[in-house]
Structure 1
Amino acid sequence: MSDVNDTNATQASRFPAYDAAAIEGKWQRIWDEKGTYKTDEDPNKPKKYVLEMFPYPSGDLHMGHARNYTIGDAMARQARMRGYDVLHPIGFDAFGLPAENAAIKHNTQAAAWTYQNMDNALATMRRMGFSYDYDRLVRTCDPEYYKWGQWMFLKMWEKGLAYRATSPVNWCPSCNTVLANEQVVEGRCWRCGSVPEKRELSQWYLKITDYAQELLDDLDKLTGWPENVKAQQRNWIGRSEGAEIDFTLADKDGVTPTDRKITVFTTRADTLFGVSFFLLPPESPLAAELVAGTECEAAFKELKEATEKVSSVDRQGSAREKHGVFTGRYVINPINGRPAPIWVADYVLMDYGTGAVMGVPCGDQRDFDFAKKYGLEIAPIICEKDDPLYDELKDERELKVTSVSWDHAMDAEGYLVQSGEFTGLKGGKHSEAVDAIIGWLSERGLGRKKVQFRLRDWLISRQRYWGNPIPMIHCDCCGDVPVPYDQLPVTLPDNLDLGAGETLAEYAPFYETTCPKCGRPAKRITDTMDTFTCSSWYYLRYCDPHNTELPFSKESVDRWMPVDNYIGGIEHAILHLLYSRFWTKVLRDLGMIDADEPFTNLLCQGMVKDHNGETMSKSKGNVVPPSSVIEPYGADTMRLVILFIAPPEKDFDWDEKAVAGANRFIKRAWSIVWQLSAGAHAGEFDARSLKGQAGELFRTLNGLGARCTSDYDRGQFNTAISAVMEIVNAASKYLNETPAEDRVLELDFRVAHDIVAILAPICPHWAEELYHEALHLEGSVYNEPWPEFDPELAKADTVEIAVQVMGKVRGHATIAADATREQTEKAALAAISEQLEGKTVRKVIVVPGKLVNVVAN
């Protein structure tokens, strides 16, 4: 055996060494020259659209980017080999506040800083060997791209989906701009972490609420999405079934009803008898009106001022102390005629329901805490039958405020008490009591069933420079007027002095214009659009990126959409993904596309963490740049370790030892392929005639190759790589234990070829070099069909089984893999015939394909 090993080691030394830098540089040049990854657009092939979420060019790429793009690249390359016509583009989400801030810091223009970063990132992408069709590159800050964002805004304006309104907004004091509700994450700005303030501003919105129900319903169609992402979207859309109930504002005497109605939304109409106070948020115009000129006004203003400094999330927290001010006014409860005092409370939000809330302290903990603090009534109106209160109040029809010793609210489940004709009915959401009370209110015109959504219209105005200008003009005579289509795009000026604080609103050459309707002097809108508008449709532009007449042709989009595999971070579960779904549905309704949903399968890749388990970020200074791996080891090693170290959806800690291990494997596989291919040639061979190590290698290739293919199809690259490693180990054993004269050269070529092919999606430069130089094949490995593996051929003709006597192994028997029970028993008894001499066989236990246990005495 040592002679064979020595011979193979000598042969290996005659093959070219693995030089990653030279090989990778060579193939990147060849791919560029030949346009290897240019999209074929072959209608005879099934399509596969593979897309990674495009990056923001805040600097060079980091390891998180590398992981995202390597996953997508492996998918795209394997899809090519599986016979798909593949669209695999890339671009940049290039507008945004960081570029503006960087321009100020470095005394440059945002465009110059952004384009330089994009050039750097593109160079890194090419060095990583990603198979992008760079001819389809999209940069959202290019006028030829953002022109169509403006065009679609105007289409939404015409459809009534874009509008301007004055309302309270989230203002980030650090970013100096407004934030959409979705951009306030856990009470803080999603970008900088500052606590937003509430301000009253005139802003532009898109009516995403028109699609709330469809956005909710269609989540059920997204069977290829992670359940946690769909759950986050369901929660954000927040559908609630309930009722709108009309309370009547009482006159200043507190009991005489006026003609003015104040409507609330509630999911618990069954608790209406328990309303002991009425709540308005500090931002409420009605609250300001009620206290104007009264002794309550000063306290109200103080509360409002304090509330503006607290985030919406914190205001709603159950543990936070509640603050309130009595307005001096009352409303009349429509179901029992009882007056309820109107309070302003900081835990009530203007954007929930109607902006007014009925206080039911017996069934809501926050209302309970508020009532206890301010000495307000707590009237029990619902409890379980085993509660002593139920026996005390079950026959009461008229409400009496009973003293309670509770230290917390009830669960608001059980049976109604003190609730007029509804006493005794089962309460709770969707209960008979809810239906009965809503029905009673509806008959009298005092309430109605209502479906409410947590989702609010998408606020897209941003008071920043580096974004897509909103294509509207304000005329004092004509109001808001759209920019004519033939004047698009409205382009950004390139000479603002951002360092001096100059803004679009202060730059007369930008905003001074004439009204398209009347020709009088008018003012261009100086807000720019939320950058999420740019990323809400970029995947459509990739389908037809050079179209100068439309954002894209319907034919091209219908060919490629929806995206088959979309890869990106879980942090985009609400913002980007929800907005993209909305945009897709709007364009469908405009007749521009057929797709209902943009992304069929979604993979949210895990985070890359440092050796301390902390997520890599530039602010922490713990980022591992791709160059730190590429320079010493090569891009293919980096790609291999990224995909091998953990399943794609799991976080992992960066491990330098794993990098070195991946490099050792890639060199070993290189050597094995060269040894197998030396003197070998393609050709047919009789698989049934393969014996010994050759037969074992062929069975291993088929069994593990089939497993590897299945793992690729499921996106489980780490286990696919494990299967390849086992094939390489089997090939090494074959080379070491088989004399040169006994090797089957056609089998050698087949194994070498298949190792190269199944590693090609992961290690592309390595694979191309071996495909040409070791296997001497023409063209590209990516024009090769994916190898076919037959699990049936992985089955051995014979198997060796253990033969036991009274539970102890006494011998072994070789039997046919498909031997019957009788054949197995016969072979086993023959194998231990000497041990059975003089004994009587009482029982034979057969475990098929594994062992036989003989009971004898």
Structure 2
Amino acid sequence: MADNNDAAEGTFPAYDAQAIETKWQRVWEEEDLYKTDTDPAKPKKYVLEMFPYPSGDLHMGHARNYTIGDAMARQARMRGYDVLHPMGFDAFGLPAENAAIKHNTQASKWTHQNIAQAVRTMKRMGFSYDYDRMFNTCDPEYYKWGQWMFIQMWKKGLAYRATSPVNWCPTCKTVLANEQVVEGRCWRCGSVPEKRNLSQWYLKITDYAQELLDDLDKLTGWPENVKAQQRNWIGRSEGAEIDFRLAAEDGVTPTDRKVTVFTTRADTLFGVSFMVLPPESDLAAELVAGTQYEDDFKALKAATEKVSAVDRQGSEREKHGVFTGRYVINPINGRPAPVWVADYVLMDYGTGAVMGVPCGDQRDFDFARKYGLEIAPIICEKDDPLYEELKDEKELRVRSVDWDKAMVAEGYLVQSGEFTGLKGGKHSEAVDAITAWLKEHDCGRPTVQFRLRDWLISRQRYWGNPIPMIHCDHCGDVPVPEDELPVLLPENLDLGAGDTLAEYAPFYETTCPKCGRPAKRITDTMDTFTCSSWYYLRYCDPHNDEAPFSKEAVDRWMPVDNYIGGIEHAILHLLYSRFWTKVLRDLGMVDVDEPFTNLLCQGMVKDENGDTMSKSKGNVVPPSSVIDPYGADTMRLAILFVAPPEKDFDWDPEAVAGANRFIKRAWRVVWQLVEGAEAGHVDPKALDANAKELNRVLHEMGIKCTNDFDRGQFNTAISAVMELTNAASKYVNDVDAEKRDGALCYRVAHDIVTMLAPICPHWAEELFHEALGREGSVYNEPWPEFDAAQAKSDTVEIAVQIKGKVRARINVPADAAKDELEAAAKEAVAAQLEGKDIKKVIVVPGRLVNIVAL
């Protein structure tokens, strides 16, 4: 792989990436170089990339993620940290099951084949993982402890079974948690989910809703957009629950039965002109049962099941509804309000019932206009003509209005009884006053609601962690005895023939652990996000067969210091992991409140046309396409140099070629620097002008590289090394070998190698041994230290302006006085000043001299 310059030099070996990388990967493995140190005297650094799903070989998106983490881990080791840098595989899941069906094989066999290939690729890319800690979530030794933790949550009241409307994906043929319905579609396949009533297992993440929200403020090392997404998903709302009594068949006599709504706008209570229930509501079905409205209700419910939740809530979508024939009584004014069923209301908002206030809500307004329902103005701005008309009205007088759209529900209450004239709006005096009235009259209460719903973990598929529960008709749901864990997946199902756990008697037939009667094992498997919610803890103690991990191990390593992964996991994996950590803390298993201190969401790698790479599009660039012609170090360098890690970038083959040209040039410069040089003390006072400038650039760029590494800005860290390499090349080209400062040359060569070592490890290892003549591994070499005083230049370039326009640039002593700067500037532009009268000179030391001349 020699280029012309390499051949022309002739005094050092050519850069042969394939030979070098093969050599050092073998040495690293033989010497077990990346085994985790356990030196309590050192500070710890836990660097972790989100582990992959083994659907096939790794692609360039994986390569970017893992190269970022690997550079962090390697540099941390060189900075004196005890580093934990593990890797494994998120191995359960639907894609493997579907692939096994397609290829007529077992999911386990398919998964392990892909894992083996991915590991080979990881090693070929030179990643410094402690492979001794590697595990797969489909290993019984791992998923046993996931089952054990489920049972602990069951004992603590955090796991339960309930029958409720769930999101059913018709393509994946399983249920989805709310978080897995993204913009109204299945997060995995893109299908529109349907609503079905099923008995499912849940984890009570809502018990931690407030803490999950509050502790976001602790995560100062997380991107703000990730925290914002979690805040929005948790969705805390302060408001009131209001009880409307259901009216008797006469429509006006209140019964003892209540319909409770949640609202953040109790101040609009006088404007309620109807009540709305979602089509999934059991109460709605009960109210219409046996009435003239039942058929229309069933038709609406069936139609609604085919529409996504996002589309149902859209303000532009036409609303559809059915009257139930029944009424509720408004507690604050005694007026009856008709109960309707409407497709724009969701079962999982608030209490599942909504009060319709059409004057202040556009969706309610559209629904009221369509079905001829009352629209009563009860809140107006003072400059609205209606305010003057209604400001003294205590009772509703205007029963309909000729509006085109709902009003903005802000302003002052009108037609609102004793509360007329109060300022309305969220958190307003009217809200407080009416909520207090409701509480006093025992028909409402202040409350807090969350958008977050309990985590639905049941999956009706085979390739997952079995839920360790048994159902007995006599004893109910009973956990599997802990000494019988793990509940193993059978490996002889014919998935292609449609075999499922629910139909496989040898799996589900069992006896009740309590009474010994025949019982049935639960055949749902857990959402794969349960496996990825605690894997980072298992890495701390991966071979423990007595517990998920020892507390001593997690106390040493947790929390993860640097976590790297995609923004697409902002709500799913990251929220679930935070919840799981807090549960384990409350079980006394960990001491940390949060699992990840610093989060880096790397940008996506797109193809040359700017399209996101995906296997379905056929535009994936495999790492081998770069490694085969150029080597892994070139790929790593190109990935980190082309853009800041958090930014997307379009894959550019020319960027790869450019990275390869630089790596060869740096190789050549290092060899040129060490020719006749040896390690020694560099005395900055004894350096000549050329050497002094190289030494200055060394310290300036070394400081910049170090600081940029600390900030995770690898592209600018690499740029700093490039500038140093350019300065070194100039030095060896301008200064004869016998006149060069040997100690400085060796120091510069050493620092170029060590600063690039986290990024180009094979290249650096070879030069460390062969060019620098060092023993051991560059990975164990201390990170070089730099001196800010030596980075300062003796001179500085300043601009010389005439009337604000730059006319010249001059180099002057860095400590030059103002009068010296003025004199030097006038001399530099003497020709332009000839014949002009200088009126004023403005001197900004270190930056510019501006001469005002007429």
State the TM-score, normalizing by the size of structure 1: 0.96
- Residue 98 (structure 1) aligned to one of 76, 95, 98: 95
Which residue does the alignment assign to 1:793? 790
Pick from 97, 102, 119: which aligns with 2:116? 119
**Rounded Cα–Cα distance in structure 2 between residues aligned with 1:24 and 1:834:** 60
SS of 1:749's partner is helix
| Cα 1:569–1:813 shift into 2, 3 Å | closer
- Partner secondary structure for residue 139 of structure 1: coil
Which of the residues 450, 455, 464 maps onto 1:453?
Answer: 450
Deviation string 1:390-444 (CA, Å, 9 cap, x unpaired) is: 1111110011234311111111011100000000000000000000000001001
Q: Which moved more, 1:837-846 or 1:605-614?
A: 837-846
Query: Does residue 218 of the first structure (1) align with residue 215 of the second (2)?
Result: yes
2:523 is the alignment partner of 1:504 = no
Determine the structure 2 residue equivalent to 1:5: none
Paired residues of 1:244 and 1:449 also in contact (CA < 8 A): yes
Q: How does 1:78-93 map to 2 (within 5 A)?
A: 78-93=75-90
* Cα shift readout 1:707-751 (whole Å, capped 9, x = no counterpart): 111111000111111111111111111111111221000000000
Provide the C-alpha distance between the structure 1 equivalents of 2:455 and 2:564, rounded to a whole number of angstroms: 24
**Is 1:424 aligned to residue 421 of structure 2?**
yes
Give the Å deviation of 1:797: 3.0
Residue 679 of structure 1: CA displacement?
1.4
- Decide which moves more: 817-826 or 538-547: 817-826
For the pair 1:749 / 2:746, whether they are aligned, the reply is yes
Whole-angstrom CA distance in 2 between matches of 1:254 and 1:805 = 88
Confirm or deny: 8 A CA contact 2:277 2:352 kept in the other structure: yes
Q: Give CA deviations for 1:774-819 in whole Å, capped at 9, x if unaligned.
A: 0000111111111111222122335577889999999999764323
CA distance in 2 between counterparts of 1:832 and 1:661 reads 41
| Residue 186 (structure 1) aligned with residue 183 (structure 2) | yes
In 2, Cα distance between equivalents of 1:356 and 1:843:
76
Q: Decide which of 365, 369, 377 is 2:366's aligned counterpart.
A: 369
In the alignment, is residue 434 of structure 1 matched against residue 427 of structure 2? Answer: no
Question: What letter matches 1:426 in structure 2?
Answer: K
Amino acid at match of 1:489: P
Residues 186 and 736 (structure 1), Cα distance of their counterparts in 2 relative to 1, 3 Å cut: same
Residue 851 of structure 2 is aligned to residue 818 of structure 1:
no
Aligned-pair identity in percent equals: 82
Shift of 1:856: 9.9
- Among residues 228, 250, 266, which one is paired with 1:231 in the alignment? 228
Query: Which shows bigger deviation, 782-791 or 134-143?
Result: 782-791
Query: Within 5 A, what are the aligned runs for 1:397-546?
Result: 397-546=394-543
- 1:94 to 1:815, Cα distance in 2 relative to 1, 3 A: closer
Distance, in Å, in 2 between the alignment partners of 1:808 and 1:576 is 56
Equivalent position to 1:692, from 667, 672, 689:
689
Match of 1:658 among 637, 655, 658: 655
Equivalent pair of 1:11/1:675 in contact (CA under 8 Å): no
User: What is the Cα deviation at residue 837 of structure 1?
Assistant: 13
Residues 828 and 653 (structure 1), Cα distance of their counterparts in 2 relative to 1, 3 Å cut: closer
Partner secondary structure for residue 769 of structure 2: helix
Partner in structure 2 of residue 731 of structure 1: 728
Tell me the SS of whatever aligns to 1:224. Answer: coil
Q: 2:252 aligns with which of 251, 255, 259?
A: 255
CA distance in 2, matches of 1:840, 1:276: 82
Contact kept in structure 2, 1:705 and 1:789, CA below 8 Å: yes
Aligned to 2:632: 635
Partner of 1:767: 764
Q: Secondary structure at the match of 2:492?
A: coil
Tell me, yes or no, if the aligned pair for 1:377 and 1:401 is still in contact at 8 Å: no
Cα distance in 2 for partners of 1:47, 1:653 equals 35
Q: Which residue of 1 aligns with 2:680?
A: 683
1:436 counterpart SS class? helix
Aligned pairs for 1:694-733 (under 5 A) are: 694-733=691-730
Q: Give, in angstroms, the shift of residue 138 of structure 1.
A: 1.8
2: CA distance, partners of 1:476 / 1:15: 80
CA drift at 1:694 = 1.1
Q: Name the SS for the 1:138 alignment partner.
A: coil
SS at match of 1:91: coil
Partner of 2:274: 277
Query: Aligned partners of 1:404, 1:808: CA distance in 2, in Å?
Result: 65
- Residues 682 and 263 from structure 1, CA distance in 2 versus in 1: closer, same or farther, beyond 3 angstroms? same
Partners of 1:855 and 1:318 lie apart in 2 by 62
Q: Are 2:298 and 1:301 equivalent residues in the alignment?
A: yes
Please tell me whether the aligned partners of residues 249 and 258 of structure 1 are also in contact (alpha carbons under 8 angstroms).
Answer: yes
Aligned with residue 579 of structure 1, among 576, 580, 597: 576
Which residue does the alignment assign to 2:133? 136
Q: Mark the CA change 1:837 to 1:606 in structure 2 (over 3 Å): closer, same or farther.
A: closer
- Extract unaligned runs of 5+ from structure 1: 1-7
**Deviations 1:184-205, CA, capped at 9 Å, x for gaps:** 1111111111111111110000
Larger CA deviation: 149-158 vs 811-820? 811-820
Distance 1:308 1:136 in 2: 46
Residue 160 of structure 1 corresponds to 157
Contact 2:268-2:379 at 8 Å conserved across structures = yes
Specify the alignment match of 2:70 in structure 1.
Answer: 73
Instruction: Tell me the SS of whatever aligns to 2:250.
Output: coil
| 1:833 to 1:222, Cα distance in 2 relative to 1, 3 A | closer
Question: What one-letter code is carried by the residue in structure 1 that aligns with 2:218?
Answer: K
The 1-side partners of 2:320 and 2:333 are apart by: 28
Q: Could you list the runs of 5+ residues in structure 2 that have no partner in the other structure? A: none
Instruction: Describe the shift of the 1:789–1:370 C-alpha distance in structure 2 as closer, same or farther (beyond 3 A).
Output: same
What is the deviation of 1:686? 1.3
Residue 22 of structure 2 corresponds to 25
Asked if the contact 1:246–1:261 (Cα under 8 Å) also holds between the matched residues in 2, the reply is yes
- Are the equivalent residues in 1 in contact too, given 2:346–2:352 (CA < 8 A)? yes
Distance 2:822 2:581 in 1: 66
Please tell me whether the aligned partners of residues 266 and 435 of structure 2 are also in contact (alpha carbons under 8 angstroms): yes
Is 1:176 the counterpart of 2:173 in the alignment? yes
2: CA distance between counterparts of 1:106 and 1:785? Answer: 50
Q: Is the 2:247–2:329 Cα contact (8 Å) retained in structure 1?
A: yes
Q: Counterpart amino acid of 1:124?
A: T
Superposed displacement of residue 309, structure 1: 1.0
Residue 349 of structure 2 corresponds to: 352
Structure-2 change in CA distance of 1:467 and 1:806 (3 Å): closer
Mapping 1:547-562, distance limit 5 Å: 547-562=544-559
Does the Cα contact within 8 Å between 2:7 and 2:14 map onto a contact in 1? no
Change in CA separation of 1:415 and 1:833 when aligned onto 2, cut-off 3 Å: closer
1:618 aligns with one of 615, 618, 627 = 615
Separation in structure 1 between the aligned mates of residue 807 and residue 149 of structure 2, nearest angstrom: 81
Residue 418 of structure 1 aligns with an amino acid whose one-letter code is Q
Using the alignment, how far apart are the partners of 1:834 and 1:472 within structure 2? Answer: 92
**Do the aligned residues in 2 keep the contact of 1:12 with 1:674 (CA within 8 Å)?**
no
Paired residue secondary structure (2:412):
strand
Would you say the 8 A contact 2:698–2:724 is kept in 1? yes
Please give the per-residue CA displacement for 1:673-731, whole angstroms capped at 9, x wherever unaligned: 01001111110121122122211111111111111111110001111111111111111
Shift of residue 848, structure 1, vs aligned partner: 2.7
Secondary structure at the residue paired with 1:261?
strand
The equivalent residue for 2:737 is: 740
Contact 1:536 1:580 in 2 (8 A): yes
Is 1:327 matched up with 2:297? no
SS of 2:113's equivalent in the other structure is helix
SS in 1 for 2:618: coil
Aligned mates of 2:473, 2:652 — CA distance in 1: 63
Three-state SS of the structure 2 residue aligned to 1:640 is helix
Separation (CA, whole Å) in 2 of partners of 1:607 and 1:803: 44
